[in-house]
Amino acid sequence: MKTASPGLELPPLTVTLRRDDLVRYAGASGDFNPIHWSDRMAAALGLPGVIAHGMLTMATAVRVVTDWLDDPADLVEYGVRFTKPVVVPDDDKGASVTFSAKADKVADGLAEFDITAIAGEEKVLGRARAVVRVS
């Protein structure tokens, strides 16, 4: 089990999401909403382009913490607020999102990590927080 103290910063994680990732996620999740694959439908709804699934972004974000843990089962609680979509262009580059995490509170065998997710220049998650068991 890991140890943590307030202010501990975990190594950042950068993930690139491409359209083929969105297709695979849609197949696995059953979420075939056209805003995740059709530029025409995304534009019709006023979106800046095809966007990554929120749950895919959320799941990817917590990896910055679970990759650090000895046992991912030490994740006790996790939640986010979605603030901006991750726009995934139809090219070979995709959209890179960088995740970072910093311990806020550490007490009673639990550490609370604030997670930051940046795509381009924009913060795409708000109040992203993971609570994990620590020694």
Q: What is the pLDDT of residues 47-59, one digit of tens each?
A: 999 999 999 999 9
Question: 29 CB contacts (<8 Å, ≥6 apart)?
Answer: 53, 55, 56
pLDDT at 78: 98
Spatial distance between the Cα atoms of 114 and 105, rounded to a whole number of angstroms: 10
> b or e along 98-125 (b: 16 or more beta carbons within 10 Å of the residue's beta carbon)?
ebbbebeebeeeebbbebbbbbeeeebb
- Segment 10-67, tens digit of pLDDT: 999 999 999 999 999 999 999 999 999 999 999 999 999 999 999 999 999 999 999 9
> What's the predicted TM-score (pTM) here?
0.94
Mean pLDDT for the stretch of residues 70-98: 97
> Which tokens belong to 48?
């800046």
pLDDT at 51: 98
Cα 19 → chain centroid? 16
- Segment 92-103, tens digit of pLDDT: 999 999 999 999
